[in-house]
Homo-oligomer: A and B are copies of this chain.
Amino acid sequence: MTDADATADDGRMAAHGGAPGAKGALTPRAEDFPRWYQEVVARAEMADNGPVRGTMVIRPWGYEIWERLQAALDERIKAAGAHNAYFPLFIPEAFMRLEAQHVAGFDPELWVVTHGGGRELEEPVVVRPTSETVVNHFFAKWVQSHRDLPLLVNQWCNVVRWELRPRLFLRTTEFLWQEGHTAHADEAGARDYALRILTDVYQDAMEQVAAVPVLVGHKTERERFAGAVRTWTCEGMMGDGKALQMGTSHELGQNFAQAFGIQYSDATGVLRHVWQTSWGASTRLVGALIMSHGDDFGLRLPPALAPVEVVVLCVREDDAVRRAASALADELRRAGRRVHLDDRTDTGFGRRTVDWELKGVPVRVEVGPRDLAQGSVTVVTRHTRTKQAVALGGVADAVERICGRAAGELRAEALAFRESRTASVGSLEEAVEAGASGFARVPWKAVREEGELQLASEALSVRCLQRDDGGLASAGEADDALVAVVGRSY
């Protein structure tokens, strides 16, 4: 029996409902997934509801995960040649009305400032729900010649949209995101760039960093962005079989270029409208992480996104334990790991292990007096919940092995789950049935616009269109040859 086993009783109590009140066990995922999600967000101290309806406070544990996701996306966005910039929060209401589809899509969601400096404003201003209008107002000034193209700009910012059914991270009145805006000399340039962002930035960061496998494809006309000619999307399957739209990349055609007068003179001096893209991914990705990888004990994090990769716990108050734990923590830090030393022995060991499991820390190293006397500690892998006794000299290697494998194993598990919940079917009726608990793959010819109406009546939708092999449609390829992925969405 290890020290950890000997003292795990209060931990089990807490984890399995033995302790009363808010600190009892999580609601099992299978019993009530939305409630489980809320509890994980609250008890892992990731976020709180803000005082204004639908707003969110992102607490340090949630924010640090977001910072790491941000860094992964930002690195890829810069590698794709875009430069960061910042456009104003406040947009004149008149700007929103310049592109017809855009205003129709966003008008019901706007928050409007009418007073400033103690007076009523002459013209109300909108708090940005997205920045196409104000960005393109400036693109019209900045783009003159073909030499100014492509113009590739990204911004990290907050946006606000009226939200009827808010849920932390997934659907909030205010959220943090990046929004990219680009202008190109021709349609092919815009299309290629929209796809580059889709696959090299979004899909790569989601799958390789967040370990969340995604399907890629394009939206049907019904589902596409207000103002786009084509919306490309990454769709993940969450732990309850529902779909989450995790990032979108839009081909805007010349819609905004015409509305805002963005023209360049080509090499022969002829004035032409630019072709554009816009693309965004948001704090919703933190929700995707929770719902893809979380289990009945809380969050499970890929080490690259974990604020703490390894927690070293003193099982109980003891000088030798404290010294050994501190030395191990230092050793792991020198090896480049983010380490937290938990020596709060005035709090029960079980309580603390439950909290670290909730927060999803990938590796726990438990240092207790009995094990230590035999020169070993207990190393616990969070994502498999397996324990092993490890000699003191082997801890750094054991941690490396666990951290090296964790993301791949989480991704494989999520992928296997998605495959187990995906059915290829031939008819709309079968798609309705299979889509209720996962994804149905059905020929688009069997759905079409009429089928989408019927899906909507069953709370289902076409998440994306793609080739039968999962590939993206090529330019000019008709939707009729494609497969629709049908599911229930967040």
Taking beta carbons and an 8 Å cutoff, which residues of A are in contact with B?
48, 50-52, 55-60, 63-64, 66-67, 83-92, 95, 107-118, 124-125, 127, 134, 137-138, 141, 153, 157-158, 160, 162, 164, 173-174, 176
Interface centre among A56, A63, A157, A164 (most CB of B within 10 A): A63
Contacts of A112 in B (CB 8 A): 113-116
- Given contacts A48-B138, A134-B50, are A108 and B113 in contact (CB under 8 A)? no
Distance in angstroms between the alpha carbons of A423 and B101 in the assembled complex: 63
Whether A88 pairs with B56 at a CB distance below 8 angstroms is: yes
Residues from chain B with a CB closer than 8 A to the CB of A59 are 85
Known contacts: A60-B83, A110-B116, A127-B127. The answer to whether A160 contacts B48 by CB under 8 A is: no
Chain B nearest CB: distance from A275 CB in Å?
21
Q: Given contacts A115-B114, A138-B57, are A63 and B86 in contact (CB under 8 A)?
A: yes
Given contacts A92-B51, A127-B127, A158-B158, contact A57 B115 (CB under 8 A): no
Q: A52-B91, A117-B164 are in contact. List 19 more A-B contacts (CB 8 A).
A: A48-B138, A50-B88, A51-B134, A51-B137, A52-B90, A56-B86, A60-B153, A63-B86, A64-B84, A86-B176, A89-B160, A108-B118, A110-B115, A110-B116, A111-B113, A111-B116, A112-B113, A116-B162, A158-B158
Among candidates B52, B55, B84, B124, residue contacting A67 with C-beta atoms closer than 8 Å:
B84
Point out the residue from B60, B88, B153, B158 that lies within 8 Å of A52, measured CB to CB. B88
CB distance from A108 to the nearest CB of B (A): 6
Q: Which residues of B contact A85 (CB under 8 A)?
A: 57-60, 63
Chain B residues in 8 Å Cβ range of A115: 110-112, 114, 124
Which B residue's beta carbon lies closest to that of A48?
Answer: B138
Q: What is the CA–CA distance of A116 and B53 in the complex, to the nearest angstrom?
A: 11
Q: How far is the CA of A56 from the CA of B108 in the complex (A)?
A: 27
| CA gap between A13 and B107 in the complex, in Å | 51
Q: With the chains together, A114 CA to B117 CA distance in Å?
A: 14
Tell whether, in the assembled complex, residue A174 and residue B88 are in contact, meaning their CB atoms are under 8 Å apart: yes
> Across the interface, do A52 and B86 meet the contact criterion of CB distance under 8 Å?
no
Chain B residues whose CB sits within 8 angstroms of the CB of A160 once the complex forms? 89-90
The chain B residue with its CB closest to the CB of A118 is: B108
Q: How far is the CB of A374 from chain B (nearest CB, A)?
A: 33
A58 lies within 8 A of B86 (CB): yes
Known: A52-B125, A158-B158, A174-B89. A83 touches B111 (CB 8 A): no
Chain B residues near A111 (CB-CB < 8 A):
90, 113, 115-117
Residues of chain B contacted by A86 (CB below 8 angstroms): 56-58, 63, 66, 176
- Chain B hits for A157, CB < 8 A: 158
Q: In the complex the two chains form, is B55's CB within 8 Å of A89's CB? A: yes
A108 to B116, CA, bound (A): 8
> Which has the most chain B C-beta neighbours within 10 Å: A52, A60, A92, A118?
A52
**How far apart sit A463 and B173, CA to CA, in the bound complex (Å)?**
40
Contact A108 B117 (CB under 8 A): yes
Q: List 8 A-B contacts (CB under 8 A).
A: A52-B125, A63-B85, A64-B83, A67-B84, A90-B111, A110-B118, A117-B164, A118-B162
A176 and B86 alpha carbons, distance in the complex (Å): 9
List of B residues within 8 angstroms of A57 by Cβ: 85-88, 138
**Cβ contacts under 8 Å, A48 to chain B:** 138, 141
* A114 contacts B116, C-beta separation under 8 Å: no
On whether the beta carbons of B52 and A92 are closer than 8 Å, the reply is: yes
A108's nearest neighbour on chain B, judged by CB, is: B118
Q: Report the Cα distance A86→B108, complex, angstroms.
A: 26
Given A60-B83, A83-B60, A158-B157, A55 and B114 touching (CB < 8 A)?
no
Contacts of A109 in B (CB 8 A): 117
Q: A176 contacts which chain B residues (CB < 8 A)?
A: 86
Task: Report the separation of the CA atoms of residues A408 and B311 in the bound assembly, to the nearest whole angstrom.
Answer: 41
Task: State A264–B117 Cα separation when bound (angstroms).
Answer: 37
Instruction: Report how far A125 CA is from B110 CA in the complex, Å.
Output: 14
User: Which 8 interchain pairs have the tightest Cβ spacing?
Assistant: A117-B162, A60-B83, A55-B88, A50-B88, A58-B86, A112-B115, A52-B90, A111-B116
Q: Which B residue's beta carbon lies closest to that of A151?
A: B60
Q: Which residue of B lies closest to A55 (CB)?
A: B88
Do A50 and B84 form a contact, CB below 8 Å, given A114-B114, A158-B158?
Answer: no
